Amino acid sequence: MENQERKKRVFSGIQPSGDLTLGSYMGAIKNWVAMQDEYDCVYCIVDMHAITVRQNPADLRRRALEQLAQYLACGLDPEKSILFVQSHVPQHAELGWILGCYTQFGELSRMTQFKQKSQQHADNITAGLFTYPVLMAADILLYQADFVPVGEDQRQHVELCRDIAQRFNGVYSDTFVLPEAFIPRVDQGARVMSLGNPLNKMSKSDPEGCVNLMDPPEVIQRKFKRAVTDSETSVRYDKENKPGVSNLLTIYCAATGKSLEEAEAAFAGQGYGVFKPAVGDAVIELLRPIREEAARLMKDKAHLESVYREGAQRAGRVAQRTLDKVHRKVGFIAR
């Protein structure tokens, strides 16, 4: 018990803003699963982040539940980790407000994701979209997380979270643990790019370029056969000049556990007509057990409910300890 309490803590979450993709699996969930034994892990379905852009309510509810089933199917274990839904633990919103008062407008204006998303949603640039990284900082700091396993695209937000925590600690004395981003290596899927446009990351909201965890084999194979490459024929990693092929190599390596050198050697002298279906096959085999188990779990709603209810209770207890401390520090009267 003593030892367990001294384990380093991990926090991460994914928005139910679309169906989970190969990018979310390789950039995040795969690492989450691997960290469960060594760390004290807290994993979330961040539905409050999802409403920073307009969502259809019925779809949001369905996807949040499916996401939990997919978390379990990927190997997240409620006996080892805390698994919960963000909106079930109100401390996230409460700390989010407080931290917003310790975050500069200029800092938020520099966030790359905000710049990209405000272009994508030019008709609906909400305050929530702008303050998204503050809520994310609250998510992480509430649990005093040491590590945040995320894809490369989230590094900037984790750095901002550290800056906010450091500022708060500087004003009031040590309150928050300073978290570190934990990002996979390139050949383990740090950034999986879109199959349709390998200059953009693979996103849930880009159905053309993404592979979903629940896609059946024939759909996966079709998407890989259509993946954008280049006019050469050689299979080699060169991110600058061959972004499409480099992305497929990254995916192949992350799916098979091979290194980039091994993969290049395996396809030496073979054209894209052999390479692309081979990547498709590797991904089909990777995702097959996940898809089958998630489909089975979706039929057991009572089990899913008990997992997220229990998770919210456990998360709420940890979160409240931090929030009480923060209330005292900033000068709120104790309840």
User: Which of residues 52 and 322 has its CB atom nearest to ligand AQP in the complex?
Assistant: 52
DSSP string, 168-204: HHHHHSS-SPPPEEE---GGGTSSPBPSS-TTSBP-T
Closest of 330, 331, 332 to residue 100, by C-alpha: 330
> Least distance (Å) from ligand AQP to the CB of residue 172?
29
Other residues' Cβ atoms within 10 Å of the Cβ of residue 281: 17
201 catalytic per annotation = yes
Read off the DSSP letter of residue 146.
S
Report the nearest approach of ligand AQP to the CB of residue 192 (Å): 4
Q: How far is the CB of 151 from ligand AQP (least distance, A)?
A: 2
Q: Which helix (H) or strand (E) holds 13?
A: strand 9-14
Q: Which residue has the tokens 């609906």?
A: 124
**Residue tagged active-site, from 30, 80, 115, 201:** 201
Q: What torsion do the CA atoms of 264, 265, 270, 272 make, to the nearest 10 degrees?
A: -20
Cα distance between residue 157 and residue 270, in whole Å:
41
CA-based nearest residue to 312, from 55, 1, 78, 24: 78
Comparison of 146 and 168: residue with beta carbon closer to ligand AQP: 146
User: Active-site residue among 80, 115, 117, 325?
Assistant: 117
Closest CA to 19 of 303, 250, 221, 291: 291
Q: How near is the Cβ of 1 to ligand AQP at its closest, in Å?
A: 31
CA distance 204 to 206: 6
Catalytic residue among 204, 223, 242, 276: 204
> Alpha helices, DSSP H only, in 202-300?
217-225, 243-256, 260-266, 272-297
Closest residue to ligand AQP: CB criterion: 27
Per the annotation, the verdict on 204 as an active-site residue is: yes
State in angstroms the smallest separation of the CB of 334 from ligand AQP: 34
Please give the residue ranges that form the binding site for ligand AQP (CB under 6 A): 14-15, 17-18, 21, 23-24, 26-28, 46, 150-151, 153-154, 189, 191-192, 201-205
Nearer to ligand AQP, 72 or 111 (CB): 111
Q: Which is nearer to ligand AQP, 150 or 278 (CB)?
A: 150
Annotation marks residue 8 as catalytic: no
Question: Is the Cβ of residue 193 or residue 307 nearer to ligand AQP in the bound state?
Answer: 193
Catalytic residue positions, numbered: 117, 201, 204
